[in-house]
Amino acid sequence: MSASSANDHEQLRSQSPPAASEDIHLPPPTYLPIIVASAVTLALVGVLVSTLVFVAGMIVLVVATAMWIRDARAEIAELPLEHG
């Protein structure tokens, strides 16, 4: 490696990275994915065990999925327009 390329390499390594152009957006923690997964499991077990267990699992699944979608839509609505 030549001296000039070694100097260029050192300059690149010593420079700090550019500042972030936007904040990182993370959704708030939620138990809804776990509830949806549990409801699917309950509904599948209900297929084998009892119609009542199946219906209970499906009701929980529909309600939890609707809540999850509602929360996601509300969160997306709060983002700046640039995120489109």
CA–CA separation, 81 vs 4, rounded Å?
A: 46
Kindly tell me the sign of the dihedral angle through the C-alpha atoms of 32, 35, 37, 40. Answer: negative
Which domain does 69 fall in, by range?
29-84
The predicted structure's pLDDT at residue 54: 97
Please tell me whether the overall predicted TM-score, pTM, comes out greater than 0.85 for this model: no
Residue 22 lies in a domain: no
**Quick one: which of 76, 55, 56, 58 has its CA closest to 66?**
58
Residue 16 lies in a domain: no
The predicted structure's pLDDT at residue 9: 66
How many domains would you assign to the chain?
A: 1
CA atoms in the 13 A half-sphere facing the CB of 56: 10
Residue 53 lies in a domain: yes
Check: CB of residue 65 under 8 Å from CB of residue 36: yes
Q: How crowded is residue 2: how many other Cβ atoms within 10 Å of its Cβ?
A: 7
Residue 75 lies in a domain: yes
Residue 61 lies in a domain: yes
Q: What parts of the chain have a pLDDT lower than 70?
A: 1-15, 17-22, 83-84
Residue 43 lies in a domain: yes
